[in-house]
Amino acid sequence: MGWVTEYHPTTDELNACVQCGLCLPACPTYRLTGRETASPRGRIQAMKAVHNGILEVDGPFQGVIDFCLGCRACEPVCPGMVPYGRALEGARAEIAAQRPGFGHRARSFLLGRVIGSRGSLRAGSGALRAAQATRATALAPSRFRRLAAGVRPLGGRPRATVGHIGGGGESGKVALLAGCIQDEWFRPVNHAAIALLEMAGYRVEVPIGQTCCGALAAHDGKADAARALADRNVPVFMGYEQVVVTSAGCSAHVREYRHWSPAGEQIGERAVDVTVAVARAIETGLLPRLTARSGPMAIQDPCHLRHAQRVTAEPRSILEAGGFEVVEIDPAGMCCGAAGLYTVLQPMASAELGNRKAAQIRSTGVTRVASANPGCEMQLRSALGAGYEIAHPIEWYLKAVMEADESGRVAAVRTAR
């Protein structure tokens, strides 16, 4: 049958692969298994076989594609610059279209309808908050229990950020993408972003009409849902000089909106991860550098920040500006195994990768960890257990600024502009 949707991997995308194998040592699933079919090269070969009518989109093909994390660690090392992430999303869209089982239909409803609805998210988060309070999360099936163990305590959260407008505007006007899960389960990150951007002189608006960015839907092959969500967001964010995104996975996706909406390129060009926005504000003197030392901080690189956006210096510069001594845990930036729904869909591989990342952190002796992506944070918290503090780099920086005896300097930064 071949391909049946408009999202399928293209000839140019697949032919860009020269089968050199440089991607193999960068691929977490290949390193876990040693199987060619668990490598980017092997998966592209499988896609080519379907593209050329040799294979069908069947169970074995789905198994090859589904085992991929989508971490995109293969992209920076690829001499042919294969757009592997785009091809993978296309292959998964074909699987969803040609093998529409109950699981795919359920996830399509979840990723397209539920997380795109503020009301549904509030209701689900309320139920999870109650489960946390009664420790009912311990009764969940094992694959969901690990996920639930990584969620921050939801009781006592600050108010939702959607609808917020504030800041002087001397430095410009920016919009904040609040996100879906981000603004429900990781709301303090959005509040930290607003506080820092306003401290830097920006007028910050969190538009009411926005919805989920569509990253989770796109990664899972729910392409129509991803497109619909992008189409809802694009007009909302038109007219802003910059669109700041507080989750690494979301910022990577929004920056690639050109694939998902006719006018998406205009938003993608203005989208920036919050670590980039805050690091720029520090570099230009809009935010302070602390002289006090804040101690060691282990740093974990989310794949969609390090590999998809090539952003590594900014989170480190933010922590250093907060007085922290940055402690590296993994120079190769191997995936932690979170990868969106991978924790639930491939629990054994996800757990193994999470445990390996946790071991790297433990080996440093450092108990404070910075991670710029919610899925990674949950994975690390679940794997590390008690005794570790995990937060976004901007949260650590804001905390250091607020706690340091630097109030005069912060005020000077604000009044000097």
Percent of the chain with pLDDT over 90: 80
Contacts of 63 (CB under 8 A, 6+ apart): none
pLDDT digits (tens, 9 = 90+) for 245-288: 999 999 999 999 999 999 999 999 999 999 999 999 999 999 99
Q: Which of 37, 69, 99 is the last residue of a domain?
A: 99
User: 172: helix, coil or strand?
Assistant: strand
Give pLDDT tens digits for 5-52: 999 999 999 999 999 999 999 999 999 999 999 999 999 999 999 999
Which of the 8 DSSP states describes residue 116? Answer: T
Residue at 74 is within a domain: yes
For 353, other C-beta atoms within 10 Å of its C-beta total 27
Distance CA 222, CA 110 (A): 10
pLDDT greater than 90 at residue 350: yes
Q: State pLDDT tens for residues 135-175.
A: 888 888 877 888 888 899 998 889 999 999 999 999 999 99
Residue 408 lies in a domain: no
Phi/psi of residue 300, nearest 5 degrees: -115, 130
Q: Which of 99, 130, 157 is the last residue of a domain?
A: 99
* Residue 281 is assigned to a structural domain of this protein: no
CATH of residue 28: 1.10.1060.10
Regarding predicted confidence, which is higher, 333 or 138? 333
Q: Please tell me the distance from the alpha carbon of residue 275 to that of residue 395, in angstroms, as a whole number.
A: 11
State the pLDDT at residue 290: 94
Residue ranges making up the domain that contains 297 = 288-403
Average pLDDT rounded to a whole number, residues 107-113:
85
The predicted structure's pLDDT at residue 378? 95
**What is the spatial distance between Cα 275 and Cα 280, in angstroms, rounded to a whole number?**
8
Which pLDDT tens digit goes with each residue over 190-228?
999 999 999 999 999 999 999 999 999 999 999 999 999
Question: What does each C-alpha distance from 333 to 28, 85, 288 come to in angstroms?
Answer: 10, 17, 29
Q: Evaluate whether residue 359 is within a structural domain.
A: yes
Q: What is the pLDDT of residue 411?
A: 45
Residue matched to tokens 């995104």: 245
Q: Quick check: is 86 in a domain?
A: yes
Cβ contacts of residue 312 below 8 Å, gap of 6+?
A: 301, 305, 306, 333
Give the mean pLDDT of the chain: 93
Q: How confident is the model over 46-55, as pLDDT tens digits?
A: 999 999 999 9
Give me the CATH number covering residue 343. 3.40.50
Last residue of a domain, one of 99, 130, 145: 99
Q: How many independent structural domains does the chain possess?
A: 2
Residue 248 lies in a domain: no
Percent of the chain residues topping a pLDDT of 70? 97
* 225 in a structural domain: no
Assess if residue 376 is contained within a domain. Answer: yes
pTM above 0.95, yes or no: no
Smallest CA-to-CA distance from 98 within 65, 52, 135, 130 is with 65
Residue 417 has pLDDT above 50, yes or no: no
At residue 136, the pLDDT reads: 87
